Chains A and B, each alone.
Chain A
Amino acid sequence: MDEHGDAAGTAVRTGPGDSGRTPVKYYQVGSFAVGNRLVALEQRTVQADPERSNALTSGHRACQGCGEALGARYVLDAAMRATGGKVVAVNATGCLEVFTTPYPETSWQLPWLHSLFGNAAAVATGVAAALAATGRDDVRVVAQAGDGGTVDIGLACLSGMFERDDDVLFVCYDNQAYMNTGVQRSAATPPGARTATTEAVGPDPGAPFGQGKDLPRVAMAHDIPYVATATVADLFDLEAKVETAMAVHGARYLHVLVPCPLGWQTASADTVRVARLATESGLFPVFAAVDGQVTSASRIRHRVPVEAYLRQQGRYRHLFPSEDRPGRPDVVARIQAQADANIARYGLLADGDGDGDEDGTRPPGSGVAGSGVAP
């Protein structure tokens, strides 16, 4: 098997700052899976590596199926690999902090500091400044917060970190509400979604339209070297973006969609699936921007209407008809319009059909580099 191990295809790596996506071209089944026994080790994800750092290890108290626990390990393990294990993490208050470090146990396996809810970016700036001042240039800083700690209470510090171009990768694990305190609305809560402070009652049930912050674009407006979005449903993309981010110095921002079974009222098994539907519907665009300009966007592979995404989630239940309510097709249509706008803005649909090329799956003999087969 070994001599055939690299027969599966060729990874085409792009340079830092090129695009978030590292297209790994295989003609192998399971190309989008975490790993594959047929693929060379370096072409698998970090998560496929039994020696991955497990920066966030077992025994944490996240809910079953927590997208944030998954996303945090994905990001930090990738950052650990990219830096040879030289990462310091700074954490805002929130679920991620609470479920990982209740005294006397911590689930972290890297140096980690939690200070406050709203100051993760500034604390990370201090860490970066201290590392620079003490000559430890090989150690890198990752700050992480939920959407509240990013777009709301943490925004001032984050914006300051951005504009100073401090050497920090700030990661927002966006689950679209204040989950730790019981699912209250944040400025990242999407329109129509039920939260404890935007109940599904009255003429405009759920979170209002016309509000909220699009933090990736806010970040881009700072002209920082790298801004990207990702989800827990596309690990290759997420890891490539972390790798790209860690290859750059200065302020970097990664916005990761992490479904929350509690707040979204989804089945715990559906965390990855719901994230996938968010991108395949166009509601959550996955893209990368260098120096304030969008440089790449992940194409939708199998487009679905937003309804396919919304119907998975109890927080949108009021939008659909049932015995005791007529449903709100008008609201669903407005959400669909948002998805359509994202698709247009970021060019999320492939030009023409292009399925095979997108996947890098071409038959041998069709003249595509990398389709060679071991003798």
Chain B
Amino acid sequence: MTGRPEAATEAATEAATAVAEQVTPDGAAPGEPFAVTLEVGSSLANHTGSWRVERPVYVHRLPPCNDACPAGEDAQGWLYRAEEGDYEGAWRHLVEENPFPAVMGRVCYRPCETACNRGELDEAVGINAVERFLGDEALRRGWRLPDPAEPSGRHVLVIGGGPAGLSAAYHLRRAGHQVTLREAQGALGGMMRYGIPLYRLPRDVLDDEVQRLVELGIEVELHHRVNDLAAELDERSFDATFLAVGAQLAKRAYVPAGDSARVLDALSLLSGAEQGTPPVLGRRVAVYGGGDTAIDAARTARRLGVTEPVVVYRRTRDRMPAHDVEVGEAVEEGIRLRWLSTVAGFEGGELVLEEMVLDEDGLPQPTGRTERLEADALVLALGEEADLSLLASLPDVEVRDDTVVVGSGAQTTHPGIFAGGDAVAGDRTVTTAVGHGKHAAGQIGAWLAGRDLVLPARHELATFDHLNTWYYADAPKQERPRLEAARRTSGFSEVVFGLAEDNALFEARRCLSCGNCFECDNCFGVCPDNAVAKLGPGNGYAFDLDYCKGCGICAAECPCGAIAMEPERR
């Protein structure tokens, strides 16, 4: 929305000329008393713009939601469409960045909402809820992803069918590249399928979004575990490779345990449940760890018939890496949390827990005091690491701390091999992985074209102090309904429901449109000099610099901070 200032100026000049033609050279109205009586509107000849020392300019500032999104979604942008009830337009805007709105609307930990300026006003906009509504609406209505571009003649290998690999495949395919996707498992989805429980992400939703993506023309090879990357690249030539093998190897901790003690890791619990082969757990299960996977494991165990799941964590709840939403839901479902405890031993159906204290740095320190907790099984949820054995044959791919080293261009130290997702350092969330895939796809495209990818400069952040919040009506956040806690634990039914359309529309309209004009007409209305032209729906406004005196009221009264004052250049 750059506006067309010249249009407004032209209009004003025409008006002034029209007036000038009606009046005599003395400015008098014909037939009326000289000087005392004047023809209307003749002041258009007086260009007060010459008084100006600052000029207003329309700007786009970066909304905090967009800034915070690991997947690079333009949340403000698609909310803008959704506000109008143009859900398909909103969805199309969304999938420019992320092909999984229905999945995201269920599994994303919503850094956008944490950053949302509305949180300082009342409550953050339920961006994730609207995203899910759009995603579900797309599946329900059968909206298709945009067609790929003309074939580029380039062929890219993507290794790993998780969120990073799928995201990369999507963006590469859309750019017209041929994409071959190799997945070790028998189904695509990676952690979305094998790490996230059903009650958070029903598999039909995942399957539908993945299928829709594959239908863009991605060559998928399931059950194809890449054990030796050098060999595969020798076998068949690719122009580039994206490595997104994830991190599935559970980290272990040494726990003195008797032979009879049942100790297993969280990932095998989750993937077993997914594949219909859940492990035998017993009645009382302790999960050791403080991340989202620990919570997922405890909640899954609860659904598998465990009556007394307990999560054991070394520190306190506020230091727990797991997200509040998940922890809260777990507590509702009867999962107990045990803080400041480490598992010192597991023997004879009893866990030995050692009480910890936090030192000045917030690190847990042992106290030597122990107590015992009855348990039939211990689930370790201490994190995962990537299995990078496929790189053994490519020693020039640098690996550090069990992750693949990539530069800012997502490229490994081996030219043409790029990497992302959990296999590289960073947040291990689905959203981050999607972002990696998109980023890598862009970099691969540039590399294939033999150029550097030049990303547009990030706009100034639209912080809260840029807003004039008086203009926003108070509007309570629309919460998604949830399954009653009592009914959750009897099966894997989805816990959180979607918003109905009217609630979703309401929620979209809670968006403050931070840093981006939403055509509220304030600038057009509050200008004491009529120096703002309204260009019609969708076209925004333009300043008429012939008359703008540079008072700055438009910028001060812009609700969303989409106008800046700049020093006049003369």
List chain A residues, Cβ under 8 A from B42: 104-106
**Known: A37-B519, A363-B478. Is A268-B552 also a contact (CB below 8 A)?**
yes
Task: Indicate with 1 or 0, residue by residue over A14-39, a CB within 8 angstroms of chain B CB atoms.
Answer: 00000000000011111111111110
**Known: A61-B48, A301-B470. Is A100-B553 also a contact (CB below 8 A)?**
no
List chain A residues, Cβ under 8 A from B546: 58
Asked if B530 and A54 make an inter-chain contact with CB atoms under 8 angstroms apart, the answer reads yes
Q: How far is the CA of A3 from the CA of B28 in the complex (A)?
A: 49
Which among A33, A64, A69 has the highest number of chain B CB atoms within 10 Å? A33
List chain A residues, Cβ under 8 A from B265: none
Asked if B557 and A3 make an inter-chain contact with CB atoms under 8 angstroms apart, the answer reads no
Asked if A32 and B549 make an inter-chain contact with CB atoms under 8 angstroms apart, the answer reads no
Q: How far is the CA of A239 from the CA of B260 in the complex (A)?
A: 81
User: Taking the complex as formed, is B143 at the interface, i.e. its CB lies under 8 A from any CB of chain A?
Assistant: no
**Known: A58-B12, A364-B506. Is A44-B549 also a contact (CB below 8 A)?**
no
Asked if B553 and A271 make an inter-chain contact with CB atoms under 8 angstroms apart, the answer reads yes
Asked if B35 and A104 make an inter-chain contact with CB atoms under 8 angstroms apart, the answer reads yes
A40-98 interface (Cβ within 8 A of B): 44-45, 47-48, 50, 54, 56-62, 64-67, 69-70, 73
Q: How far is the CA of A45 from the CA of B524 in the complex (A)?
A: 11
Asked if A270 and B556 make an inter-chain contact with CB atoms under 8 angstroms apart, the answer reads yes
In angstroms, how far is the closest chain B Cβ from the Cβ of A361? 4
List chain B residues, Cβ under 8 A from A112: 40
Q: How far is the CA of A59 from the CA of B15 in the complex (A)?
A: 12
Nearest A residue to B52, CB-CB: A64
Asked if A106 and B40 make an inter-chain contact with CB atoms under 8 angstroms apart, the answer reads yes
In angstroms, how far is the closest chain A Cβ from the Cβ of B93? 14
Asked if B46 and A61 make an inter-chain contact with CB atoms under 8 angstroms apart, the answer reads yes
Asked if B555 and A103 make an inter-chain contact with CB atoms under 8 angstroms apart, the answer reads no
B516-531 interface (Cβ within 8 A of A): 518-522, 524-531
Which among A4, A65, A66, A108 has the highest number of chain B CB atoms within 10 Å? A65
Q: How far is the CA of A267 from the CA of B36 in the complex (A)?
A: 34
**Known: A1-B84, A58-B44. Is A269-B555 also a contact (CB below 8 A)?**
yes
**Known: A29-B475, A54-B530. Is A35-B520 also a contact (CB below 8 A)?**
yes
Q: How far is the CA of A176 from the CA of B501 in the complex (A)?
A: 50
User: Taking the complex as formed, is A356 at the interface, i.e. its CB lies under 8 A from any CB of chain B?
Assistant: yes
In angstroms, how far is the closest chain B Cβ from the Cβ of A16? 24
Asked if A356 and B474 make an inter-chain contact with CB atoms under 8 angstroms apart, the answer reads yes
Asked if A34 and B526 make an inter-chain contact with CB atoms under 8 angstroms apart, the answer reads yes
Among A7, A29, A31, A261, which residue has its beta carbon within 8 angstroms of that of B512? A29
User: Taking the complex as formed, is B43 at the interface, i.e. its CB lies under 8 A from any CB of chain A?
Assistant: yes
User: Taking the complex as formed, is A318 at the interface, i.e. its CB lies under 8 A from any CB of chain B?
Assistant: no
Which among A27, A101, A302 has the highest number of chain B CB atoms within 10 Å? A27
List chain B residues, Cβ under 8 A from A302: 470
Q: How far is the CA of A100 from the CA of B530 in the complex (A)?
A: 14
Asked if A33 and B551 make an inter-chain contact with CB atoms under 8 angstroms apart, the answer reads no
Among A27, A48, A261, which residue has its beta carbon within 8 angstroms of that of B506? A27
Q: How far is the CA of A64 from the CA of B552 in the complex (A)?
A: 9
Q: How far is the CA of A105 from the CA of B26 in the complex (A)?
A: 10
List chain A residues, Cβ under 8 A from B474: 355-356, 358-359, 361
Q: How many residues of A contact B (CB 8 A)?
A: 75
Q: How many residues of B contact A (CB 8 A)?
A: 72
Asked if B509 and A363 make an inter-chain contact with CB atoms under 8 angstroms apart, the answer reads no
Among A37, A105, A110, which residue has its beta carbon within 8 angstroms of that of B38? A105
Asked if A363 and B475 make an inter-chain contact with CB atoms under 8 angstroms apart, the answer reads yes
Task: Indicate with 1 or 0, residue by residue over B369-388, a CB within 8 angstroms of chain A CB atoms.
Answer: 00000000000000000000
Asked if A365 and B503 make an inter-chain contact with CB atoms under 8 angstroms apart, the answer reads yes
Asked if A59 and B44 make an inter-chain contact with CB atoms under 8 angstroms apart, the answer reads yes
Asked if B473 and A272 make an inter-chain contact with CB atoms under 8 angstroms apart, the answer reads no
Task: Indicate with 1 or 0, residue by residue over B473-502, a CB within 8 angstroms of chain A CB atoms.
Answer: 111101000000000000000000000111
Task: Indicate with 1 or 0, residue by residue over B433-477, a CB within 8 angstroms of chain A CB atoms.
Answer: 000000000000000000000000000000000001011111110
Q: How far is the CA of A36 from the CA of B511 in the complex (A)?
A: 13
Asked if B520 and A7 make an inter-chain contact with CB atoms under 8 angstroms apart, the answer reads no
Q: How far is the CA of A363 from the CA of B531 in the complex (A)?
A: 37
Asked if B524 and A47 make an inter-chain contact with CB atoms under 8 angstroms apart, the answer reads yes
User: Taking the complex as formed, is A373 at the interface, i.e. its CB lies under 8 A from any CB of chain B?
Assistant: yes
Among B86, B471, B565, which residue has its beta carbon within 8 angstroms of that of A30? B471
Asked if A47 and B525 make an inter-chain contact with CB atoms under 8 angstroms apart, the answer reads yes
Which among B16, B501, B547, B553 has the highest number of chain A CB atoms within 10 Å? B553
User: Taking the complex as formed, is A109 at the interface, i.e. its CB lies under 8 A from any CB of chain B?
Assistant: yes
**Known: A33-B471, A105-B42. Is A45-B525 also a contact (CB below 8 A)?**
yes
Asked if A29 and B510 make an inter-chain contact with CB atoms under 8 angstroms apart, the answer reads yes
Q: How far is the CA of A61 from the CA of B522 in the complex (A)?
A: 22
Q: How far is the CA of A4 from the CA of B505 in the complex (A)?
A: 11
In angstroms, how far is the closest chain A Cβ from the Cβ of B466? 14
Judged by DSSP, the binding face of B is loop
Task: Indicate with 1 or 0, residue by residue over B22-42, a CB within 8 angstroms of chain A CB atoms.
Answer: 010011100000010011111
In angstroms, how far is the closest chain B Cβ from the Cβ of A374? 6
**Known: A269-B552, A272-B556. Is A59-B48 also a contact (CB below 8 A)?**
yes
Among A35, A59, A269, which residue has its beta carbon within 8 angstroms of that of B525? A35
Asked if A38 and B513 make an inter-chain contact with CB atoms under 8 angstroms apart, the answer reads no
Task: Indicate with 1 or 0, residue by residue over A98-129, a CB within 8 angstroms of chain B CB atoms.
Answer: 00110111111110100000000000000000
Asked if A57 and B41 make an inter-chain contact with CB atoms under 8 angstroms apart, the answer reads yes
Among A38, A105, A371, which residue has its beta carbon within 8 angstroms of that of B84? A38
In angstroms, how far is the closest chain A Cβ from the Cβ of B549? 4
Q: How far is the CA of A70 from the CA of B556 in the complex (A)?
A: 15
List chain B residues, Cβ under 8 A from A271: 528, 551, 553
List chain B residues, Cβ under 8 A from A371: 502
In angstroms, how far is the closest chain A Cβ from the Cβ of B521? 3
List chain A residues, Cβ under 8 A from B45: 59, 105
Q: How far is the CA of A360 from the CA of B472 in the complex (A)?
A: 12
Asked if B556 and A269 make an inter-chain contact with CB atoms under 8 angstroms apart, the answer reads yes
User: Taking the complex as formed, is A299 at the interface, i.e. its CB lies under 8 A from any CB of chain B?
Assistant: no
**Known: A57-B43, A60-B529, A364-B502. Is A36-B470 also a contact (CB below 8 A)?**
no
A285-329 interface (Cβ within 8 A of B): 301-302
B254-290 interface (Cβ within 8 A of A): none
Asked if A33 and B522 make an inter-chain contact with CB atoms under 8 angstroms apart, the answer reads yes
Nearest B residue to A74, CB-CB: B525
Q: How far is the CA of A356 from the CA of B472 in the complex (A)?
A: 11
Among A44, A69, A108, which residue has its beta carbon within 8 angstroms of that of B40? A108
In angstroms, how far is the closest chain B Cβ from the Cβ of A33? 4
Asked if B85 and A69 make an inter-chain contact with CB atoms under 8 angstroms apart, the answer reads no
Q: How far is the CA of A105 from the CA of B23 in the complex (A)?
A: 10
Among A1, A59, A73, A272, which residue has its beta carbon within 8 angstroms of that of B557? A272
User: Taking the complex as formed, is B189 at the interface, i.e. its CB lies under 8 A from any CB of chain A?
Assistant: no
Asked if A106 and B43 make an inter-chain contact with CB atoms under 8 angstroms apart, the answer reads yes
User: Taking the complex as formed, is B537 at the interface, i.e. its CB lies under 8 A from any CB of chain A?
Assistant: yes
Asked if A34 and B520 make an inter-chain contact with CB atoms under 8 angstroms apart, the answer reads yes
**Known: A34-B522, A363-B503. Is A103-B35 also a contact (CB below 8 A)?**
yes
List chain A residues, Cβ under 8 A from B472: 29-32
Asked if B537 and A37 make an inter-chain contact with CB atoms under 8 angstroms apart, the answer reads yes
Q: How far is the CA of A100 from the CA of B27 in the complex (A)?
A: 14
Nearest B residue to A55, CB-CB: B40
In angstroms, how far is the closest chain B Cβ from the Cβ of A74? 8
Asked if A374 and B526 make an inter-chain contact with CB atoms under 8 angstroms apart, the answer reads no
User: Taking the complex as formed, is A334 at the interface, i.e. its CB lies under 8 A from any CB of chain B?
Assistant: no
Asked if A58 and B525 make an inter-chain contact with CB atoms under 8 angstroms apart, the answer reads no
List chain B residues, Cβ under 8 A from A249: none
10 closest cross-chain pairs (CB), A and B: A104-B27, A35-B521, A34-B525, A269-B552, A4-B85, A59-B43, A47-B525, A65-B551, A33-B520, A31-B473
- Interchain residue pairs with CB less than 8 A apart (10): A3-B85, A8-B509, A33-B471, A38-B509, A50-B524, A59-B16, A59-B47, A104-B27, A235-B525, A373-B501
Task: Beyond A59-B47, A60-B43, A105-B46, list 13 extra A-B contacts (CB 8 Å).
Answer: A4-B84, A48-B524, A48-B525, A57-B43, A58-B530, A70-B528, A73-B528, A104-B38, A273-B468, A358-B474, A365-B503, A371-B502, A373-B501
